[in-house]
Structure 1
Amino acid sequence: MKAARVSAFGGPEAVQMAALDRPQPGPGEVLVRVQAVSVNYVDLVVIAGRYQFLPKLPFTPGKGPAGTIAALGEGVTGWAVGDRVLAMAEIGSYAEYTPAPANQCYRLPDAMPFTEAAALALAYDTAWFALRERARFQPGETVLVLGATGAVGLAAVALARALGGRVLAGVSSPAKAQLALDAGAEAIIDLSAPDIRESLRAQVRDATGGGAADIVIDPLGDVYFEAALRALAWRGRLVVVGFAAGAIPSVKANYLLVKNIEVSGLQISDYRKRVPQDVAACFAEIFSLYERGLVTPAPATVMPLEQVSQALALLRDRAVAGRIVLTP
C-alpha cells in the first residue's frame, strides 16, 4: 500500500512516500481503508519531533482518518466490514490503510461525505471539549475564539453558535474574516491591531456594548493569551488549546484571584485514552448537529496523498484558508 513515512524528524520535506505491506488489525482494533484524512498543525509538531508523545522512527504520521472498515481484529464486536467510520487513530493515517482502536471509531451519518468527516476530525472534537467540558459553556454566553480562521477556531465558532452562544472571532488576517463570519461569528476582533494588550479588550467591549467575554478559546498563546485574559468577564474561563502563535505564555496567579477567573488546558488525546465514552458522546452531538444542518465544516482543499509534503508546507505557511484533506 501507499503510505507517507518519516525516517528522521524535520519539516514537511521529511515526509516521503513509500510502499509498505498492508497492516493487520491487532486485538481490539479494526483496519480502516482510508478515504480521507485531514492535515493538522499537530502533525507538523510530531514530524518535527516536538510533540509530547513521539512515535518511534520510522513512522507514518496522520491522525483521524475517515473511511470504511476493511477487517476486524480479535475480540471486536459491534462493527462489520464496510461500516463507514471516523477513526481517531493517533498515527498511521497518511496511508491507504491504518489500524485503529475499535472503541475510538465513530459511525458516520449516511449523508456525510468522507472529506467532510475528515475535516471535522481533531477540530470539532477539540472545540467541543473546550466548550462543553473545560469551559462549561451555557447558552447565551459570549465566546471569544482566538485564531478563529484555523481548524479548531472555525470549529469553535460554529459549535458555540449552534449551541446558542454569542461568538466573537479573533483573526490576525482581516482578509480571512469572512470565513469566521460564515461559520457563525457575530463580530470580528482584529488581532493585528496595534497594542494588542489594550486593543483586544477595547474591541471586545465595543462588540458587547461595554461587556466582556465569558469564555475564551485560545489556540494561539503568545501575546494574545494575556490580552484575552484582560478581556474576560468576572468568573470568566479561558481554555488553552495550543501555542500556534509561538511563545508559551505564563500567568500571574493573583490576576486569577482578583477577577475570579479560570485558566484550564485541553489535550484531546488524553480524553480518547482515559474516557472514550465521553468522546463517543462528543461525536454523537456533533453528528446530530450536522444532521440537523446546524454545523457544516467549511469547504476543504482536497489534495492527493502523494502531495502530503506540499500540503504540510501549505499548512505551515498558512497559505490555505480552511482545512486541507488528503485522499489516497
Structure 2
Amino acid sequence: MKAWRLDATLTFGDVPDPEPPDGAVVVRLEAAPILSYFRAYVAGTLRHYHRPTGPFTPGTSGVGVVERVGRGVFTLATGQRVLVTGNYTAAENVPDPARGLIGLTSETPAVRDTWRDGTLAEKVVAPVSTVTPVPAGLGDVVAVTRCLVPYGGLLRGRLTPGETVVVNGATGAFGSAGVHVAKALGAARVVAAGRNPAVLERLAALERVVPVRLTGSVPADADALRAAAGGPVDLALDLVGGAVSPDSTLAALAALRRTGRLVLMGSASAPLPIDYTALMLAGTEIIGNFMYPDDAPARLLTLVAAGLLDLGAIPAASFPLAELPAAMDAAAAPGAPLVVVTM
C-alpha cells in the first residue's frame, strides 16, 4: 500500500500491507483530515508532542471500511464503514490508564511505539476502542473528526439546552466546529469570539450565533461578550490555538455569570493569572479538559443522523493523498476550511 512515513523527513512510498493484531482491525481509508498545525508537527517544533521511535505513519483520524479483523474482535466486521479517531486509552482497570493520540503523540513511550502508525496511508491498523461504526445512509462524515474536540469540552462543561455559550477561538479549526456543535446541543445563543473577520462573517450567518471580534482589551472584550450574549454567560469553551497572551481567555472568564464554567482546551503558551478572591466569591469553575470520552464519536454520529448537526455547514477542501505537502499548506492558512486527503 501507499503511505507517508515521518522520521527525519516526510516521505511517500510503498510499505507492506498491515496485519491486524489481537483486538484491532485493518481499515481501508477513504479520507483523513489534516491538522492545522501539522506542518509544525512535521518540523518537530511543537515541544509538548512526543513522536514514536523511528519511522512511522502520522495522522490521527479518518473514515474508511473495515478490511480485516484480528482475534478478539466480536462485533466489527469486514465491509463495515467506520470512523477512526486515534484517541486511545488503555483498557486497564487502573486509576490513570495510559493514553495517547495514535499517529501523533503520547507521554507513554510504550503507547506511541505499540500503536505507532496513523491514517495518512491507504490502510491503518486501529485498536477497536478507536473505531466507531458509521450509521447506514450517512454520506461524507469526515468532518465529525473536527467536531469531536469541542464536543468533549462541551460535555465536560455540562452544557444544558437553553444556555448561552461563548466559544473563544471561534475562527480557528476546532473553535469554528465548536460553534456548530454548541448549536446542535441546544445552546440558546452561541457567541463566536475571534479575530478573523472573514470567518466571523461566515459564522454570523448561522441561526443563534452572534460574532464578537476581539480587541485584546480584557474589560472591553468581556463587555462585548456579555452584550452579544444578552447578559452574563453560562459556559465558555476556550479553544484558542497557540496564544501568546491570556487576554482573550481572561475576557471569556470575566464574561461568565456567577457559578459559570470555563473549559480550557486550547494551546496557549502564556500563564493564566487568576484572581483568587474573585474566583471564590463568584463560584466560577475553571475546568481543564483533554479530548473526549470513548463514546463521543458514536454520540456525534447520532446527532448527524438525526439532522441536528449539519456537517455540510463546515467548509472543506480535499487533496489526493500523494499531495499531502499542499494539503499541509492549505490547512495552516488562517481561517482555513477542513482540509482532508482522499485515498
Q: TM bucket by the smaller chain?
A: 0.7 to 0.9
Number of residue pairs matched?
304
User: Is 1:117 matched up with 2:160?
Assistant: no
Measure, in 1, the Cα distance between the counterparts of 2:75 and 2:202.
39
Of 172-181 and 55-64, deviating more is 172-181
Change in CA separation of 1:18 and 1:196 when aligned onto 2, cut-off 3 Å: farther
Contact 2:26 2:126 in 1 (8 A): yes
Confirm whether residue 158 of structure 1 aligns to residue 172 of structure 2.
no
Distance 1:58 1:4 in 2: 10
Match of residue 307, structure 1, among 311, 323, 335 = 323
- Which residue, 227, 235, 250 being the options, matches 1:215? 235
Query: In structure 1, how many angstroms separate the alpha carbons of the residues matched to 2:183 and 2:4?
Result: 37
Q: Secondary structure at the match of 1:236?
A: strand
Q: Percent identity over the alignment?
A: 31
Aligned equivalent of 2:93:
none
- Partner Cα distance (2:166, 2:302) in 1: 24
Question: Would the alpha carbon gap of residues 82 and 3 (structure 1) be closer, same or farther in structure 2, given more than 3 Å must change?
Answer: same
Which protein has the bigger helix share? 1
Offset of 1:183 from its aligned partner? 5.0
Q: Contact conserved, 2:73 with 2:128, CA < 8 A, in 1? A: yes
Q: CA deviation at 1:53?
A: 4.0
What are the Cα deviations for residues 25-69 of structure 1, in whole angstroms up to 9, with x where unaligned? 111000010100111136456432534442223211101110000
Specify the SS of the correspondent of 1:175: helix
Gaps of 5+ in 1: 9-13, 272-277
TM-score, normalized by length of structure 2?
0.82
Q: CA deviation at 1:250?
A: 1.7
What is aligned with 2:110?
A: none
**Quick one: distance in 2 between partners of 1:71 and 1:323?**
29
Deviation at 1:264, TM superposition (A): 1.3
What SS does the corresponding residue of 2:272 show, helix, strand or coil?
A: coil
- Within 2, Cα distance between the matches of 1:183 and 1:325? 24
Q: Report the Cα offset of residue 201 of structure 1.
A: 0.9
Partner of 1:267: 290
Counterpart among 253, 256, 261 of residue 229 in structure 1: 253
Q: Any residues of structure 2 matched to 1:253-264 within 5 Å, and which?
A: 254=276, 255-264=278-287
Question: Are the structure 2 counterparts of residues 303 and 183 from structure 1 closer, same or farther at C-alpha, using a change threshold of 3 Å?
Answer: farther
Change (3 A) 1:128 1:99: same
Q: Which runs of 5+ in 2 are unaligned?
A: 87-101, 104-117
Match of 2:164 in 1: 142
Aligned to 1:175: 198
> What secondary structure does 2:203 align onto?
helix
Give the counterpart letter for 1:322 in structure 2. P
CA distance in 2, matches of 1:248, 1:117: 35
| Aligned-partner SS, 2:259 | strand
Judged with a 3 Å threshold, the aligned counterparts in structure 2 of structure 1 residues 128 and 217 are, in CA distance, closer, same or farther, namely same
TM-score by length of 1: 0.86
Q: 2:181 & 2:120 partners in 1: Cα distance?
A: 27
The residue that corresponds to 1:321 in the other structure is 336
Equivalents in 2 of 1:44, 1:199: separation in Å?
35
In structure 2, the CA distance between the partners of 1:18 and 1:138, relative to structure 1 (3 Å rule), is: same
| Aligned equivalent of 1:62, options 32, 51, 59 | 59
For 2:121, the equivalent position in structure 1 comes to 95
- In 2, the alpha carbon distance for the partners of 1:147 and 1:171 equals 5
Distance 1:100 1:317, change over 3 A: same
1:187 paired with 2:202, answer no
**Aligned-partner SS, 1:188:** strand
- CA 1:5 to 1:182, structure 2 compared with 1: closer, same or farther past 3 Å? farther
- Alignment of 1:22 with 2:17, yes or no, is yes
Give 1:206's aligned residue.
227
Partner of 1:106: 132
Task: Name the CA shift for 1:42/1:85 in 2 (closer, same or farther; >3 Å).
Answer: farther
Cα contact 2:144–2:300 (8 A) shared by 1: no
In the other structure, the counterpart of 2:112 is: none
Query: 2-side partners of 1:183 and 1:106: how far apart?
Result: 29
User: Could you tell me whether the CA contact under 8 Å between 1:144 and 1:213 is conserved in 2?
Assistant: yes
Distance of aligned partners of 1:289 and 1:157 in 2 relative to their CA distance in 1, 3 Å threshold: same
Query: CA RMSD, aligned part only?
Result: 2.0
> 1:163 Cα deviation (Å)?
1.8
Determine the structure 1 residue equivalent to 2:294.
279
